[in-house]
Amino acid sequence: MDGIDNEIKDYLNDLAKEYSFSIMAMEVMPDHIHILVDCKPQFFPSDMIKILKGNTARWLFMKHPELKKQLWGGHLWNPSYCIVTASDRSYDQVKQYIDSQKTR
């Protein structure tokens, strides 16, 4: 992904600090991102998704305007997403799954 994946990771980590949540694991794939987040229970998952998707799209299109022309409809993100909660028992499995995505 020509280094853009590392730029995205850095940007998402900055967003996490700004909004007071922690990214425990993350892997940027060609057409989606896996993220394991630790946040306060008062943080609505849908709000977090809006923050992550909206800010990342705006930032990425400003930094790499050529991307908008390459994407279908000029949109970075599909409106859908998947959220799964992880307990203390399943945390390690979820983290391992995310960490292994680049090797697939």
Task: Please give the positions annotated as active site.
Answer: 97
Beta bridge partners of 57: none
List of residues 6+ apart from 91 with CB closer than 8 A: 24, 36
**φ, ψ dihedrals at 34, nearest 5°:** -100, 130
Measuring CA to CA, which residue among 71, 75, 35 is closest to residue 52?
35
